[in-house]
Structure 1
Amino acid sequence: MRDYSENKETCGTICLKYLLFIFNFFFWLAGGAVMAVGIWTLAEKSDYISLLQSNTYMATAYILVVAGVVVMITGILGCCATFREQRSLLRVYFILLLCIFLLEVIAGILAYIYYQQFFPMSPQLNTELKQNLKETMTQKYMKPEEVSVTSAVDKLQQEFKCCGSHNASDWSDSEWIKSPDALNRKFPDSCCKTVTDKCGQRDHPSNIYKEGGCITKLENFIQEHLKIIGAVGIGIAFVQIFGMLFTCCLYRNLKSEPY
């Protein structure tokens, strides 16, 4: 009877080991995906996102990168802990899983806060955010000390094929457009459908993106990106529940290892 019990326990431990190994493999891949989303956000979108005067969105991206790196390291540690059958390593592994879970929860909360900030229920607050973007574009564009803003505005208008915050007429309030430095431009050259030097001098729908402002297109982009961040976070958090359960079960099945 004792031998049967030991064999049954050994069989259960082996099954748990392989389940945890499979989990760690997919967990490692998920970590790479999370890190890629964070890096993509920072590398490709951070410049014009900075125009919104909010650090919450950027903080969410940094958390995703950190969480992705920790996930990949944790996946490797989990494999080592599983096959070496050391309870001490399993404890460290479980703590890391818990920390990652908390990071994902924080990222989710920040994403929600940012969503409420950028897409509030109150139309008045939403109008204020749009007005802030207009002021940033019209007052800081082409200022010598605001090179990053200028670059961000140009990239925003070209990538989203838009002109101005609300519409192209916003640029009539621009300090740069009113100055001699604009060389009679009515819009920045980045508003042109085909960018050439001084193309912003010609005010015609065939030349300038007149329909729709950048703020609406930026809103749509952020909405979609927040959905991606939320889906990735929820998906990995759901998978982690199984990982923590497998770890607890294996921990109980293993005999204590000497330190």
Structure 2
Amino acid sequence: MGAPPYEEKETCGTICLKYLLFTFNFLFWMAGGVVMAVGIWTLVEKSDYISLLSSSTYAASAYILILAGAIVMVTGVLGCCATFKEQRNLLRVYFVLLLCIFLLEILAGILAYIYYQQLNEELKQNLRETMVKKYMAEGQEHITKAVDKLQQEFKCCGSNGSSDWADSLWINTNDEKQKRVPDSCCKTQMNGCGKRDHPSNIYKVEGGCITKLENFILDHLKIIGAVGVGIACVQVVGMVFTCCLYRSLKAEPY
């Protein structure tokens, strides 16, 4: 006479776990879309600035988020199927995918943190050289576009200041010796405006474009790191629910 109440209790517990896991999967699927959107936004909207960096760590973090987000969305659907079909094999696959995504997002967070620490040194070593040697150079149109966009968008001129352009290979060619800075340094950009190197005409920003670009990328790294680690921590809850449901189904008679 004591067996039925026990079975009923187990069934109720399983039903609760199923609905909890289904709710988690729905929210998890939405979170996957957010993770993927952050990665795509980083690569598409700010891809010009990525070309100014010598390291691929910043781009790699974004790619990892896109991959993780795509897997999250597929995993969310699989999790719903596994939950309502009550198939332990699917639950095992679901748990392994959750674990893989967890590791991917932790990796993205770690990469973002590591790059956060070394970004200033990289910009100091490479941004000036990139501007001086590659601006307007043949085959470096993407660099030229990125530098012009950087100076106009952040209202800066040169890596450390406008005086950096005095060493530019482009400025020192016969055709461009009249120019002191690129036209993109001008507060009001027009053809030939870079001939007059005066604070009333061009941007004079303390720290130059290095400071502006560094602050911009640091803000993005914070977002990438926070999203990656935050979603990864939430996944721990999903893995716990999955383990509980798996054990509950295993304990029930066939």
Matches of 2:251 and 2:177, distance apart in 1: 78
Measured against aligned partners, the alpha-carbon deviations of 1:162-202 in whole angstroms (never above 9, x if no partner) come to 11000111111111111133262211111111221112122
Moved over 3 A (4+): none
Measured against aligned partners, the alpha-carbon deviations of 1:43-74 in whole angstroms (never above 9, x if no partner) come to 01122122121111111110010001001111
Equivalent in 198, 213, 219 of residue 218 of structure 1: 213
Q: Which residue of 2 aligns with 1:80?
A: 81
Q: Which residue of 1 aligns with 2:155?
A: 161
Amino acid of the residue matched to residue 107 of structure 1? A
Measured against aligned partners, the alpha-carbon deviations of 1:78-119 in whole angstroms (never above 9, x if no partner) come to 111111111111111000000001101211221122122214
Q: Which residue of 2 aligns with 1:122?
A: none
Measured against aligned partners, the alpha-carbon deviations of 1:120-149 in whole angstroms (never above 9, x if no partner) come to xxxxxx3x6414210110111000121111
Q: Which residue of 2 aligns with 1:198?
A: 192
Amino acid of the residue matched to residue 78 of structure 2? L
Say which SS state the counterpart of residue 48 (structure 1) adopts. helix
Task: Work out whether 1:181 is the aligned partner of 2:181.
Answer: no
Matches of 2:128 and 2:101, distance apart in 1: 38
**2:109–2:226 CA contact under 8 A, matched in 1:** no
Amino acid of the residue matched to residue 191 of structure 2? D
Amino acid of the residue matched to residue 165 of structure 1? S
Measured against aligned partners, the alpha-carbon deviations of 1:204-242 in whole angstroms (never above 9, x if no partner) come to 222211123110011111211111111111211111010
Amino acid of the residue matched to residue 193 of structure 1? K
CA RMSD of aligned residues (A): 1.6
Identical amino acids, percent of aligned pairs: 72
Count of paired positions: 250
Matches of 2:88 and 2:153, distance apart in 1: 52
Amino acid of the residue matched to residue 249 of structure 1? C
Q: Which residue of 2 aligns with 1:123?
A: none
Question: Which structure 2 residue ranges, 5 or more long, are not aligned?
Answer: none
Question: Which structure 1 residue ranges, 5 or more long, are not aligned?
Answer: 120-125
Give 1:62-211 correspondences, 5 Å limit. Answer: 62-119=63-120, 126=121, 129-182=123-176, 184-211=178-205
Amino acid of the residue matched to residue 51 of structure 1? L
Q: Which residue of 1 aligns with 2:235?
A: 240
Deviates more, 1:104-113 or 1:66-75: 104-113
**1:139–1:175 CA contact under 8 A, matched in 2:** yes
**1:87–1:256 CA contact under 8 A, matched in 2:** no
Say which SS state the counterpart of residue 97 (structure 2) adopts. helix
Q: Which residue of 1 aligns with 2:3?
A: 2
Q: Which residue of 1 aligns with 2:51?
A: 50
TM-score for both structures, normalised by structure 1? 0.92
**1:141–1:149 CA contact under 8 A, matched in 2:** yes
TM-score for both structures, normalised by structure 2? 0.94
